[in-house]
Amino acid sequence: MPETWINIFLFVMLAATALAVVRTRHLFAVVMLSGVFSLLSALLFVTLDAVDVAFTEAAVGAGISTVLMLGTLALTSRREGPVSASRQLWALPIVVLTAAALVYGTLDMPGFGSPDAPAQRHIAPHYLGETASEIGIPNVVTAVLASYRGYDTLGETAVIFTAGVGVLLIISELGRRRRRDDEDEEGSVRNPEGAGDRIGGNSRSDGDIR
């Protein structure tokens, strides 16, 4: 029973944080509040006994994302621009319709924590029962993640790598530097290592001056 009250309290706090995010125009406050939102979700995951997920949410959602958002804010504006009244008028029905569709979708789902849910009956019993003998480690989550579902995790790692490469290609200065060096080639003392260098060589020279 106390768990129910904790859940209700956390959900109320989540809703309050979400409302505050919507209402605030100051983007620094919005970033901080979204960090709070992540931390509250992490607490919810803890009450669901999903500590691994809670750990990830706290580290990635509340930690790294907040830092990266602040980094983005430092490059752009810190105030949200005003939204025209006509667009605000459209927003309400769209949000209500989407929410109604989502709630309708949940009607077919198995009950909260139901032991008959397909997720509990398919292969989960095998993982829970056989991890100790097949893998021999106490943390079933790690066993599923790294061994039973090793292919998926390899894919996830590749996704993270690809995302990092994408970010670097879009916003890092690695490619741009070469072009700029070509432009101010004459009389430039900024980068004596020379223009038209390979990317690896260029970035190596970044490390020590910056």
Partner 1 sequence: MRHHLILRTVSKLLIGAILLFGLYVQFHGDFSPGGGFQAGVIVAVAFILHGIVFGLGMVQRVFPRWLVHKLAAVGVLVYAGTGVLGMFLGYDFLDYGAFSPDHPSHGQHWGILAVELGVGITVAGVMVSVYYAFAGRPPQMSDEDW
For residue 114, what are the contacts with CB-CB under 8 A and spacing of at least 6?
Answer: 120
What are the structure tokens assigned to 44, written together? 């919810």
- Residue 12: C-alpha distances to residues 1, 9, 95, 152, 210 (Å): 17, 5, 19, 35, 46
Task: Say if CB 57 and CB 5 are below 8 A apart.
Answer: no
Q: Which of residues 10-29 bind partner 1 (CB under 8 A)?
A: 28
Q: Quick check: 67 binds partner 1 (CB under 8 A)?
A: yes
Q: How far is the CB of 119 from partner 1 (least distance, A)?
A: 20
Tokens of 170: 């879009």
45 belongs to the binding site for partner 1 (CB under 8 A): no
Within 13 Å of residue 7, how many CA atoms lie on the same side as its CB?
9
User: Could you say whether residue 173 binds partner 1 (CB under 8 A)?
Assistant: yes
Report whether 144 contacts 124 (CB < 8 A).
no
> Which residue lies nearer to partner 1 by CB, 7 or 203?
203
Among 12, 95, 128, 163, binds partner 1 (CB under 8 A): 163
Nearest residue (CB) to partner 1, 40 versus 54: 54
Q: Least distance from C-beta 36 to partner 1, angstroms?
A: 18
Q: Does 105 bind partner 1 (CB under 8 A)?
A: no
How distant is the alpha carbon of residue 195 from its chain centre? 37
Nearby residues of 195 by Cβ (< 8 Å), 6 or more positions away:
178, 181, 182, 185
The residue (of 6 and 46) whose beta carbon lies closer to partner 1 is 46
| Residue with Cβ nearer partner 1 (18 or 147) | 147
Select 78 or 121, whichever has its Cβ closest to partner 1. Answer: 78
Q: List residues near partner 1 by CB under 8 A.
A: 28, 51-52, 54-56, 59-60, 63-64, 67-68, 71-72, 74-75, 78, 133-139, 141-143, 145-147, 150-151, 153-154, 156-158, 160-161, 163-165, 167-168, 171-173, 200, 203-204, 206-210
